[in-house]
Amino acid sequence: MTYDPTSPWKKTPVLQDKVLDIMNDTFLEVSPLDEVYEIPQQYNQRPDLASYKLYGTSKYWWIFAKRNPDIIEDPIRDFTAGRKIIIPSKNQIDNMK
């Protein structure tokens, strides 16, 4: 069975080819290439669109909440215009695959 390499569950084992086991987290290391990003109005509560613009795919929407757990508790509702978050570089995301 193959899994999407962009999934936050990519390292989580599947039991009996049916059920996900306890999640093995994808870890994003802090990098000097990380940058502060102010969420623009056009991406208010749309991390998928911001992911597409920044990383070329909407599949990394979950990374914003993962990198900013103290700021973004709900990955959709807390992704609000004007909020400043830390985002990983495209290079770091590409190396995650």
pLDDT tens digits, one per residue of 40-91: 999 999 999 999 999 999 999 999 998 998 999 999 999 999 999 999 998 8
- Mean pLDDT score, 24-29: 64
Determine if residue 48 is left, alpha or beta; phi over 0 gives left, psi from -120 to 50 gives alpha, anything else beta: alpha
58 to 11, 13, 18, 19, 47: CA distances (angstroms): 20, 24, 26, 25, 8
Residue 55 has a pLDDT of 94
pLDDT of 38 higher than 90: yes
Residue 22 has a pLDDT of 64
Q: Which helix (H) or strand (E) holds 94?
A: helix 90-96
Residue 17 has a pLDDT of 73
